[in-house]
Structure 1
């Protein structure tokens, strides 16, 4: 593959990350977060979001040193053949368990809400057939499908406060930040069990040429998902209260059922499910393609179409045999996932950061991109004065774009740090001074929205920088 050809762009990559983190988290864990965090449950995505950003940082550093390589290939290079293979097998086993969890959870949801008379085996079989169909394609196809539905999904969740405006009660979230620190910590740990799935996106690092775009996409996708899930939890508490959703199996679906547009349009939930379903499907297809990529890397291949059928059959059989009831599915997804993730991911990430330092950065350095040096052929065609003017102008524009990109990154980091400080301040003083907790909660919401905006501007600045660098080289 040529060095400057990419399969998906940074926007598609960011939206796939957002779908990965927000698709399944809307139905499986939010009742547990409300049970622990109660009126402050909507603030419990702080640590999971920061943890996902940390994983994105590590994967970006790997992409800088190993361009056109995905995570499984990089792990083998960094750790060697035997240790790298063991690390890849560990990631694949975790990925396999995540897919089993999602398939059974999705089957239980559809069987409970839409098709109660359909056997669970049939629902899982149909979804596995969908995975097998997309297993013959590439992440480019999934990215384009996700491009069609994610904007509708995003706008739909943004419109939920207006659709539920007659059901909102702000008294239900007051006083803010009065949860016990231990319970707040436990709720954040549960969220890490779902946000840790972002590691599997490393299987597609080779699909984007520039590591700057990879970093911006990780930040933007993670912050979008954090914002959407936070908004969903906030609406559940505002409409259903801090107690009732904790005893519901699918509180988010119950929230949707409260939407009534006039007196005759009261089944809006069917329309919303028609948009949510493709997002969840893209999430699981992405994980399935990551699993195929990892297995193919063990065979030192990148073409995984030949193993698509046996892997899908193995996934179907193990999924049907893994769980006996819905309680086991939810217990495994909500309580076992954090243990599995925190049991190996921090150690793996720390080892990758440590051992990758002996490999130099292979992409073009920032100072070289700023120099704006034209190619030798173009130097011979232009006069000396014209060449000097063009070089000076290109260097000046590149420096401005670099400053803009760095400014948006800094602004986003400051907002994230400020949001964390506000939460800690509110937990510390919220029980004594209610106004401090309320202002801290409002400040957290403002900082989160600002971080999403800055990540979007960072993506735009990264695109302009990469496009100018490509035209210069």
Structure 2
């Protein structure tokens, strides 16, 4: 099937975003976040989540005004030939740095924990061969692979509090929200460097035709990553304490090593690694495909399979020569990534917002939303349509009657409420420990509600897309 005709659905994009954001947090940034924010480190992902939502809004507006185009093509359209090429070159350099960082970090991880006697160059070579294999496919293939592992990873992460219940001590989390706000801000800026990887989703905008689906998928995927990463940080502090994880290279791996089920299942870390590894590799492959799409766009092509082999060999050479030691890899990944992201992404996104106004919005889902409002009206007897046929689904029908904009506003209000909880805790918990505890519980409850609200937003966007599709229009 030609590359330019392949698509991914809304759910696959949201899970792909979750894998993209989680993949970096599992290997590198966690110990630095604990070192900066101590026992309050599980609050630091609130700030980068807002940054992700801003990028989701920009991508949605781009897809509404320039449907069927990915970010590299949009740069040429909005900035012109030369400035568009300059913007694409900046993006490609950033993607190149991300690939160097992730390939070397994954090689260090495998060489340290699994294959200590294997030369690191051979590990990187095997990873590049894997990239070369998937470089002949598309995002559709890697998204289907991610469909197999991400649900298992999600369920396994949610089970960690139960698996580690005998090792946890909530006293290690207290006092809650007593870390200086400046340190929480610094930790949030560090995590923005890893969340900035979301810019690569722009390379796949042409694979989803409905802008509402892009928006809801990015929001739900980012909330999935925020919830899971925050839970991992919470468990690290509750099990290992506020100081030990900051001195460990891989605190997440040390955390799962504490899982012990009875006396004969004491190496659960090997099973967990078998789930983590595909998630991390999936992220690198996804970035590599975006890198290939960007290079192919420089010659106005979408078929990137011809440049797959030389690009992968270039990555192999530069990855091996890029770093001399492990501290260099971690310093580059954790402290250079925020500088790279904040040096160009805000300016690029602001310029895109200004220049896209020349193009009118072309959103078929607006008509679908109006028609859905009519179809979800009430009969003369005051009951909803189909209510008598399915009385057991009355509550679900009521949720389905809520519009997508209402779910969107509810999600934004919940996010603002999360900031209120954190702010109240930072202000009053120094003198009143109970307020800090209540703020922590409120923040966790807000994250759980955000998962539900963004999931409902995705379902609503899917329904609207189905109604606005040409096939549904013909059938109606």
| Class of the TM-score when normalised by the shorter of the 2 chains | over 0.9
Alpha-carbon distance in 1 for matches of 2:368, 2:261: 57
Matches within 5 A, 1:101-180: 101-180=101-180
Q: Which moved more, 1:72-81 or 1:230-239?
A: 72-81
Alpha-carbon spacing, 1:314–1:395, altered in 2? closer, same or farther (3 Å) = farther
Q: CA deviation at 1:256?
A: 0.5
**For residue 43 of structure 1, what is the aligned residue in structure 2?**
43
Alpha-carbon distance in 1 for matches of 2:463, 2:377: 14
Alpha-carbon distance in 2 for matches of 1:293, 1:402: 40
Alpha-carbon distance in 1 for matches of 2:279, 2:73: 28
Unaligned runs of 5+ in 2: 379-384, 386-398
Matches within 5 A, 1:64-463: 64-364=64-364, 366-367=366-367, 370-371=370-371, 393=375, 403-463=402-462
Q: Which moved more, 1:462-471 or 1:256-265?
A: 462-471
Q: CA deviation at 1:469?
A: 2.1
Contact kept in structure 2, 1:10 and 1:217, CA below 8 Å: yes
Contact kept in structure 1, 2:193 and 2:334, CA below 8 Å: yes
Q: CA deviation at 1:186?
A: 0.5
Alpha-carbon spacing, 1:291–1:211, altered in 2? closer, same or farther (3 Å) = same
**For residue 376 of structure 1, what is the aligned residue in structure 2?**
none
Contact kept in structure 2, 1:6 and 1:209, CA below 8 Å: no
Deviating beyond 4 angstroms after TM superposition, the runs of 4 or more aligned structure 1 residues are 391-397, 400-403
**For residue 22 of structure 2, what is the aligned residue in structure 1?**
22
Contact kept in structure 2, 1:28 and 1:334, CA below 8 Å: yes
Contact kept in structure 2, 1:259 and 1:268, CA below 8 Å: yes
Unaligned runs of 5+ in 1: 373-390
Q: CA deviation at 1:422?
A: 1.1
Contact kept in structure 2, 1:204 and 1:290, CA below 8 Å: yes
Alpha-carbon distance in 2 for matches of 1:368, 1:456: 19
Alpha-carbon distance in 2 for matches of 1:414, 1:364: 27
Alpha-carbon distance in 1 for matches of 2:267, 2:66: 50
Normalised to the residue count of structure 2, the TM-score between the two structures is: 0.92
Q: CA deviation at 1:404?
A: 2.3
Alpha-carbon distance in 1 for matches of 2:263, 2:374: 66
Contact kept in structure 2, 1:25 and 1:229, CA below 8 Å: yes
Alpha-carbon distance in 1 for matches of 2:370, 2:66: 22
Alpha-carbon distance in 1 for matches of 2:346, 2:377: 40
Q: Per-residue CA shift, 1:199-257, capped at 9, x if unaligned?
A: 11110000011111100100000000000000000000000000011011111100000
Contact kept in structure 2, 1:63 and 1:211, CA below 8 Å: yes
Alpha-carbon distance in 2 for matches of 1:190, 1:368: 41
Q: CA deviation at 1:6?
A: 6.3
Alpha-carbon spacing, 1:303–1:164, altered in 2? closer, same or farther (3 Å) = same
Give SS of 1:29's match: helix
Normalised to the residue count of structure 1, the TM-score between the two structures is: 0.93
Contact kept in structure 1, 2:26 and 2:252, CA below 8 Å: yes
Q: CA deviation at 1:431?
A: 1.2
Alpha-carbon distance in 2 for matches of 1:369, 1:262: 54
What is the root-mean-square deviation in Å for CA atoms of aligned residues? 1.9
Alpha-carbon distance in 2 for matches of 1:77, 1:469: 27
